[in-house]
Structure 1
């Protein structure tokens, strides 16, 4: 028995990761269409999970190409388990707002990701409780990932999740989230999320604010999964009088773009798993993920996104085959600069056929 206790108290470390490649063919890229699309490197990532008694570690570092931001930390925190239901995390941890971990099933995520509202990670401290009937989380985030630590430096765009950038910085954000689980197997989950924080402007040296509210529902069936969500988001930056406060810069993957300061967002994502035995293929998950960004400014054009696809599971290889369509979407045929803010009244739906092949270890 003493030997077993000693084994349980030894530090543990598990190393994993993934190597992914990507093929894409985009409707708005004439040269690419003439070539029949392009196939190349996506990412190499390393994951580490460690534990000692009730203390644990979770880290993920990603290496993209230089044009997509290069290498950066996706997440990284240390934590402590008080018991089986309660824990605390400190570091670059996921913001408890909306459906988690993802509000989507596809490789592109949903439109919520592109405005910093899906799988977002910030620097702070988070308390989590998860029991049979309830889950709740409370968190304080000092700021988004900070890499430069200067007095008046802008945040680096080399990051995984979208955050406020340019001459504004996210500071002192509070989050709360509550989920009620019900049904025979507790596979229905309905919840609400709130967040409030500051926006520090480098030029005026004053602090505005931002706040958000979300209602969300998820059905976690054996084969079916349904995610539905509505959000109300408002930003009030303390910008100079010469700067349009209806628009903010957000950044990730090495480049910034504009996002409307105020908007409502509605998303619906549905998937169906089909077990199969086709050589090494054991499962097919078909899905459709839809998102609508309803901008508050009347002169702005709204943004849409829809992804239809299938996830193919074959041992350690996961392949996403997606047809992603967007309207006033920076990553789907837009001009990248202001699609999520002012938009383009002459925009048309554009689409990208994408195959992402990843070996996960």
Structure 2
């Protein structure tokens, strides 16, 4: 009996091998993009600052406290990607909100589509600055700005172009309610709401290492006024240059831009400013202006157990307001970034002239300023963050 069983198995073995090969050949191969991917990260930051215009702070020797805790998530499955960042600040700086978050589809290695809260393609990106304070462009909504819409990016190496449509800014309150200033990037707030914005950016890379980037940016959109229920207009344009190379320790940023806001205020309310808000508070900004910025940085590699690099930098911004009786504004940040493993430590001396974050005048620093009593003020700041 045992011999018969062995004989049957011997006869069936070739058939089993044939069927197994057929089944393996018919089984579809799993592509890398079909496998789910999830990457989580974040940061915890603390901040020390000492401001020359705050007498009580000078007497205390400055303040040291919590800055932010953030969570980052990147995911991909079946060709669809996700990128999101949620931030939590103290309640005085806006509390908790989404900094960015979008769905992404890559058509190929050089082109992609992003839908959601993504970075507006305008000016030098990702930042028009090297320091913790950004540059003047950030404070009027033209640096690292994020809005709700659709963006297409095409990058072929020497050429890159981006085109985007944004239905609104960070829309956290729907309807006719005033936009909340509890947000990361500066947008028009108060009685006006940004909507239906178009952006186009073109970058040309030069040199053998493509280290020189010359770019042009255009932006146009509407401003819906809650009181009149009519749309005003706004537009902006910029030319920019950046030098960055993995073979050189130098980084250079140059940009010139202009903007115009034309809100549809009620008859008789001939205001020459709009409100803008972020981090839990609004201030006024001139309806017209030009901003010129320049930045230079130098990287020093360090080979020690604790410290791996030092970046020295200086960033300057000049804000030329095109409204009568409005004083112009200046901003200059001199500092260094220390890289120690997962920690990044920004040490900045930030000087401001008619700047809401760098002086005693908040509401009208970017409009009338403080005529007849304008002075330079300085904020010494140390921001230390652990990024994971």
Which runs of 5 or more residues in structure 2 are unaligned?
Answer: 1-23
Which of 198, 201, 212 is 2:222 aligned to? 198
Which of 339, 350, 358 is 1:332 aligned to? 358
After superposition, residues 85-100 of structure 1 pair within 5 angstroms as: 85-100=110-125
RMSD: 1.3
TM-score (norm 1): 0.97
State the SS of the aligned residue for 1:157: coil
Are residue 36 (structure 1) and residue 61 (structure 2) matched?
A: yes
Give the deviation of 1:147 after TM superposition: 1.2
After superposition, residues 35-74 of structure 1 pair within 5 angstroms as: 35-74=60-99
> Which residue is 2:332 aligned to?
306
| Structure showing the higher helix proportion among its residues | 2
Which of 195, 202, 205 is 1:181 aligned to? 205
CA distance in 2, matches of 1:156, 1:352: 27
Residues 194 and 213 in structure 1, CA contact (< 8 A), matched pair in contact too: yes
Which runs of 5 or more residues in structure 1 are unaligned?
Answer: none
Which of 139, 147, 172 is 2:164 aligned to? 139
Are residue 355 (structure 1) and residue 379 (structure 2) matched?
A: no
Are residue 168 (structure 1) and residue 192 (structure 2) matched?
A: yes
CA distance in 2, matches of 1:126, 1:277: 40
Which stretch shifts more, 7-16 or 85-94?
Answer: 7-16
CA distance in 2, matches of 1:62, 1:8: 29
Give the deviation of 1:52 after TM superposition: 1.5
Residues 54 and 82 in structure 1, CA contact (< 8 A), matched pair in contact too: no
> Which residue is 1:276 aligned to?
302
Which of 196, 214, 226 is 2:252 aligned to? 226
Give the deviation of 1:25 after TM superposition: 0.6
After superposition, residues 15-34 of structure 1 pair within 5 angstroms as: 15-34=40-59
CA distance in 2, matches of 1:312, 1:181: 29
CA distance in 2, matches of 1:254, 1:297: 27
| Structure showing the higher strand proportion among its residues | 1
State the SS of the aligned residue for 2:59: helix
Residues 187 and 220 in structure 1, CA contact (< 8 A), matched pair in contact too: yes
Give structure 1 regions of 4+ aligned residues with deviation exceeding 6 angstroms: 1-4
Which of 133, 136, 141 is 1:116 aligned to? 141
CA distance in 1, matches of 2:268, 2:308: 58
Cα deviation digits, residues 243-282 of structure 1 (max 9, x gap): 3431000000001000001000000011000001244101
Cα deviation digits, residues 188-238 of structure 1 (max 9, x gap): 000100010001101111111000010000000331100000001001110
CA distance in 2, matches of 1:99, 1:308: 19
Give the deviation of 1:54 after TM superposition: 2.3
Residues 269 and 287 in structure 1, CA contact (< 8 A), matched pair in contact too: yes
CA distance in 1, matches of 2:237, 2:31: 47
CA distance in 2, matches of 1:149, 1:4: 46
State the SS of the aligned residue for 2:381: strand
CA distance in 2, matches of 1:8, 1:99: 31
